[in-house]
């Protein structure tokens, strides 16, 4: 065996020992311990958001010698919904493997893709030994989330259900109240369509030149 090969083997052994020692020393929780994450979801005015999805996203980030960079493994997601007070509670069983934790308020898109409305990283708290973490997530513009909550609860009107069956989820929802009437517009930017409802009754269907969604 060449001297270079011996040096590389010794270096690899030292590196593995250092990693193992660090992992052994860093045990913020017992294996099998329940980590509880709870809190509330509110809109930009501080009002609670009921029936909206909250995800605890758990993943592992580690340095890959083969690629000489840090990589994040595909996440595991624990799902829940807020109650009428906008409150939620999620649990994770500590396994000692995953080391990245985040709370998301998000809607599922195609495949594993998510449309994220709010995100809060919990890695510092959980890796720091906290077994119960409480936080508040704020969604400045919650119109689309409220629309999704109505869909989930089966509270769309007949006209709204027909448009949803035809067009799918809108890219944006604008809602206002005038003279005790709820005026809502569903925007489909990529398809050049907008549907306007008064108290759930379809009032207008308008076409325009398809555009990219406005953030």
In this prediction, residue 70 has a pLDDT band, given cuts at 50, 70 and 90, of: confident
Distance of alpha carbon 26 from alpha carbon 21, whole angstroms: 9
Q: Which of 119, 118, 115, 121 is nearest to 213 (CA)?
A: 115
Find the mean pLDDT for residues 196-200.
Answer: 97
> What are 11-67's pLDDT values in tens digits?
554 555 444 444 444 588 998 999 999 999 999 999 999 999 999 999 998 767 676
At 164, list the tokens.
């949803």
Grouping H, G, I as helix, E, B as strand and the rest as coil, residue 166 is helix
State which H helix or E strand residue 177 sits in.
strand 172-178
Nearest Cα neighbor of 104 from 160, 55, 172 is 55
The string of pLDDT tens digits covering residues 89-110 is 999 999 988 989 999 999 988 7
In DSSP notation, 139-157 reads ES--HHHHHHHHHHTT---
Domain map (residue ranges) of the chain: 28-139, 156-207
The CATH code for residues 28-139 is 2.60.40.10
């Amino acid at each position: 065996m060449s001297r270079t090969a011996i040096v590389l083997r010794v270096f690899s052994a030292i590196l593995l020992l250092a990693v193992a020692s660090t992992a052994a020393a860093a045990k913020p929780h017992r294996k099998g311990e329940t980590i509880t994450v709870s809190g509330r979801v509110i809109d930009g005015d501080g009002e609670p958001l009921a029936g909206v999805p909250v995800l605890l996203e758990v993943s592992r980030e580690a340095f890959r010698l083969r690629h000489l960079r840090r990589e994040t493994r595909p996440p595991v997601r624990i799902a829940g919904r807020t109650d009428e007070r906008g409150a939620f509670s999620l649990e994770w069983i500590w396994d000692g493997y995953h080391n990245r934790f985040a709370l998301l308020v998000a809607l599922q898109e195609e495949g594993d893709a998510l449309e994220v409305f709010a995100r809060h990283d919990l890695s510092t708290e959980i890796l720091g030994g906290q077994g119960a973490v409480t936080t508040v997530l704020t969604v400045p513009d919650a119109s689309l989330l409220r629309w999704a909550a109505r869909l989930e609860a089966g509270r769309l009107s007949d006209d709204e259900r027909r448009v949803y069956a035809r067009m799918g989820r809108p890219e944006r929802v604008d809602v206002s109240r005038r003279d005790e009437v709820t005026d809502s517009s569903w925007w489909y930017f990529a398809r050049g369509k907008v549907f306007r409802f008064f108290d759930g009754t379809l009032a207008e269907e308008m076409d325009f030149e398809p555009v990219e969604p406005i953030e």
